[in-house]
A and B are shown apart, each in its own frame.
Chain A
Amino acid sequence: KAGVTQTPRYLIKTRGQQVTLSCSPISGHRSVSWYQQTPGQGLQFLFEYFSETQRNKGNFPGRFSGRQFSNSRSEMNVSTLELGDSALYLCASSRERSNEQFFGPGTRLTVL
């Protein structure tokens, strides 16, 4: 069974641009969560999607948004990039009503 895949693995953007990251969950998993990992703030929850609906949201500004498609694939978008958005963005998927999350390898975003 294929694991969680994230594309692209690496991205370099400049301040003010926007970026879209993609996550494909494990087959049969309907919940997708996103996390931001930085050296200073550690791992922080961004949001969770289940059946195309945002079920949970972390404490991030509105520049961070996401969506989920009918095949459970998810995207997150960051608009008007800031230097502080440089981070590893991790996606995790889980089965319905399961608390065990499986993580992808992450997308490393660098904002110059």
Chain B
Amino acid sequence: AQSVTQLDSQVPVFEEAPVELRCNYSSSVSVYLFWYVQYPNQGLQLLLKYLSGSTLVKGINGFEAEFNKSQTSFHLRKPSVHISDTAEYFCAVTAYNQGGKLIFGQGTELSVKP
């Protein structure tokens, strides 16, 4: 079975500051990793994914994440945030043979202040 822990439930940050949202996972098998963003009253939008290959993955809206297998982490970063990045962010995993079953973390609410 897989599990995901997002270490911060809320992250307040000022506009144009860097941000890191932390995600750790647990799994006895190899996994794929994802970050999704959810704006109020909307569904989830995929920010980026790690399937294989380079451990540094770049996504939309200037976000990137680094897969660290030894630390079982997949932290999300952005060098300079905007007010429009205010949203809830979810880290998710799925096992190689469980493609349609995503296991999500509890979410991190990113609040960008002017």
Contact = CB atoms under 8 A, between A and B. Distances in A.
Given A43-B90, A103-B45, A106-B43, A98 B99 contact: yes
Contacts of B43: 4, 90, 103-106
User: Interface range on chain B: under 10, 10 to 19, 20 to 34, or 35 or more?
Assistant: 20 to 34
Nearest to A105: B43
A77 to B, nearest CB: 19
Contact of B101 (A32, A42, A48, A102): A48
Contacts of B51: 99
A97 B46 CA distance: 17
A80 interface: no
B73 interface: no
B44 A103 contact: yes
Nearest to A50: B100
Contact of A99 (B32, B44, B45, B103): B32
B104 interface: yes
Contacts of B46: 100-102
Interface string B25-44: 00000001000100001111
User: Interface range on chain A: under 10, 10 to 19, 20 to 34, or 35 or more?
Assistant: 20 to 34
B99 A97 contact: yes
Residue of B42, B43, B45, B46 with most partner-chain A CB within 10 A: B43
B44 A31 contact: no
B31 to A, nearest CB: 10
Interface in B37-83: 41-46, 49, 51
Interface in A45-88: 45, 48, 50, 55-56, 58
B38 to A, nearest CB: 9
Given A100-B46, A102-B46, A33 B104 contact: no
Interface of B: 32, 36, 41-46, 49, 51, 90, 92, 94, 98-107
15 contacts: A4-B43, A31-B100, A33-B102, A35-B104, A43-B104, A43-B107, A45-B101, A45-B102, A48-B100, A56-B100, A90-B43, A99-B32, A99-B94, A103-B44, A103-B45
